[in-house]
């Protein structure tokens, strides 16, 4: 990535806590069509594009914040694309500048935030609700019977040695047919582990007040929270579904 400054490339912290970055404005046109390149954005790498202005500019100011409202950070690039290694999900705006003149307003906002799907989703071992399927576009979940070959669960719950576990949907195809392969780990994190990490397993012990990560067979990442457990089941209060395939950023 090529940065511009009078001397060296620097990351500028914009000291403001708001829904939009506080920055100079002027008479240049507003930058249009800021977008996340979802094909190129993978792992912890985010690629942004926007349309070039038809007037001469010195550079484009990319503003990002990890929350709304939040503290905005800024860097400047010369072209109309940015590839960055991100430490968390972010919101983005862009402005153009020429000398001391700036765009009259911010571009459209884009972000890499996942979709929050609120429950509770109750899973009970050895019942009609022992499996859960995360809908591919992140629009919701379906709870169903993992014992049925007609239900393609991503994960299911079952008891082993009197303890309750989440299992990958295809962990035991003889008893739970039709399931899909899902990697799991008990963890709260802004970024999910790399796919070949030994942290990923195909079963995890379930505990109350605990976070879990999942790497789904469709290459989407999720994080979900178990708020409570009971004799043979658990309640998932919400799921955070990263809708950009292959992007490991979750918060």
pLDDT, average across residues 147-167: 95
For 206-238, what is each residue's pLDDT tens digit? Answer: 999 999 999 999 999 999 999 999 989 999 999
- How would residue 6 be classed by pLDDT, with cut points 50, 70 and 90? very low
pLDDT, average across residues 62-72: 93
69 preceded by cis ω (within 30°)?
yes
For 90-138, what is each residue's pLDDT tens digit? Answer: 999 999 999 999 999 999 999 999 999 999 999 999 888 999 999 998 9
pLDDT, average across residues 12-23: 58
Q: What is the domain partition of the chain in residue ranges?
A: 12-111, 115-241
* High-pLDDT (> 70) share of the chain, %: 92
Higher per-residue pLDDT: 232 or 12: 232
Instruction: Say if CB 186 and CB 214 are below 8 A apart.
Output: no
pLDDT exceeds 50 at position 15? no
The pLDDT value given to residue 17: 62
Higher per-residue pLDDT: 3 or 73: 73
pLDDT, average across residues 161-178: 95
Q: For domain 12-111, give the fold.
A: Immunoglobulin-like (2.60.40)
Average pLDDT, the chain: 91
């Amino acid at each position: 990535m090529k940065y511009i400054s009078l001397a060296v490339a620097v990351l500028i912290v914009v000291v403001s806590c708001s829904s939009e970055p506080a920055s100079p404005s002027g008479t240049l046109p507003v930058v249009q069509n800021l977008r996340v390149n979802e094909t190129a954005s993978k792992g912890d790498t985010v690629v942004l594009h926007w349309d070039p202005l038809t007037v001469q500019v010195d550079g484009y100011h990319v503003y990002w914040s990890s929350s709304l409202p939040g503290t905005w950070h800024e860097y400047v690039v010369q072209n109309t694309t940015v590839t960055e290694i991100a430490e968390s999900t972010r919101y983005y705006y862009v402005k153009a500048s020429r000398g001391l003149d700036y765009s009259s307003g911010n571009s459209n906002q884009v972000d890499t935030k996942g979709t929050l799907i609120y429950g509770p989703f109750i899973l009970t071992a050895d019942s009609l609700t022992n499996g859960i399927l995360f809908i591919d576009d992140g629009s919701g979940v379906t709870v169903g019977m993992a014992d049925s070959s007609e239900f393609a669960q991503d994960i299911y719950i079952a008891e082993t040695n009197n303890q309750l576990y989440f299992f990958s949907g295809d962990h035991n195809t003889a008893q739970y047919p039709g399931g899909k392969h899902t990697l799991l780990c008990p963890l709260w994190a802004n970024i999910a582990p790399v796919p070949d990490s030994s942290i990923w397993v195909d079963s995890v012990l379930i505990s109350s007040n605990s976070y879990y990560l999942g790497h789904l067979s469709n290459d989407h990442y999720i994080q979900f929270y178990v708020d409570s457990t009971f004799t043979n089941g658990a309640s998932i209060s919400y799921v955070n579904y990263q809708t950009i395939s292959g992007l490991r950023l979750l918060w």
